[in-house]
Amino acid sequence: MNTAAYLRRLGLPTLLDAPTSAESLRALHVAHIEKVAYEALEIWLGRPTTVDPAESAGRIIRGRGGYCYHLNGAFSELLRALGYDVTRHVGGVQMRGGAPGITANHLVLTARGLPSDANPGGEWLVDAGLGDALHEPLPLVAGTYTQGPFTYVLRPSEVAPGGWRFDHDPSGSFDGMDFGLASTGMSAFADMHRQLTTSPTSGFVRVATVQRRDAYGVDSLRGLVLSRIGHGASSVTLSTARDYYAALEDIFVLPLDDVSAEEKDKLWRKVYDAHEAWLSGAPQ
């Protein structure tokens, strides 16, 4: 992994030789959240991906994003290269109306050895892959936390003995996330990654979703519906390919420089047809 190039992508080249600290971790986390979109457009482009962090990091450096396995996988490699003590964990995101569980549909990171005034113990929940959730790392301490317009709760998990439960804000896209504290390798996510990228029942396969969090809220693009949650909530349907790709570049920092004009035409047609099917009530 080209650590210097990754930091340039985040706009933080000066952190290449900086000592590890809670402050620097926060800066890295915020930059990753704000500059690297949560997206699964590779599925809609017909480009298979893996959970290999080096592959994910290369794609991020080239200006793209990913979802949790990609974002947290690559971010953990970056942090380790910078000297941070980071551990990967198997987690489970509970969607609205679903049941909690450690399903391996989420990769979670924790970091330790980084004390601060707000977190003397120095352990942190680090998660760049929750889409519309965390903006900054959370102290790995039970409590209620506010980040911008959203309120989160961190508490002991009821389904992962000794683990943790993250409760999302009621306005968020999912109920919460549980994870155990055991360390894991990336191979633990290979089967679920295959399912999430190929199964007709997968949310990533059914809806082309892009999200980007900032300090004041979150922008989401689901199909052709662009919405803002937080300060200045709004929703609009993008009716042309020009508007769609302008939104990807201007709002989600996704210029798609690695996608040809022909691929963009095909992507637009697929997203447009899926949106029309949704409007008609047809199964997706």
| Domain boundaries along the sequence of the chain | 202-279
Binning pLDDT at 50, 70 and 90, where does residue 284 land?
low
- b/e per residue, 66-79, with b = 16+ CB within 10 A? bbbbbbbbbbbbbb
Indicate the SS3 state at residue 176.
strand
DSSP assigned state of 143: E
Two tokens, residue 17: 């030789």
What pTM did the predictor assign? 0.96
pLDDT value of position 278: 87
Q: Is residue 273 over pLDDT 60?
A: yes
Please give the average per-residue pLDDT across 51-75, as a whole number.
Answer: 98
**Rounded Cα gap, residues 48 and 45, in angstroms:** 9
Tell me, what amino acid is at 6?
Y
Binning pLDDT at 50, 70 and 90, where does residue 35 land?
very high
pLDDT digits (tens, 9 = 90+) for 43-58: 999 999 999 999 999 9
Alpha carbons within 13 A on the beta-carbon side of 71: 30
Two tokens, residue 259: 């996608």
CB-CB contact of 217 with 33 (8 Å): no
Indicate the SS3 state at residue 243.
helix
Handedness of CA 19, 2, 257, 222 (dihedral sign): negative
Hey, what CATH topology would domain 202-279 get? Arylamine N-acetyltransferase fold (3.30.2140)
pLDDT value of position 233: 82
pLDDT value of position 112: 98
pLDDT value of position 142: 98
Mean pLDDT rounded to a whole number for the chain: 96
Q: Is residue 237 over pLDDT 90?
A: yes
pLDDT value of position 283: 60
pLDDT value of position 282: 64
Two tokens, residue 250: 């201007």
pLDDT digits (tens, 9 = 90+) for 98-145: 999 999 999 999 999 999 999 999 999 999 999 999 999 999 999 999
Report CA 175 to chain centroid distance, whole Å.
16
Two tokens, residue 39: 């997206």
Binning pLDDT at 50, 70 and 90, where does residue 281 land?
confident
Please give the average per-residue pLDDT across 5-18, as a whole number.
Answer: 97
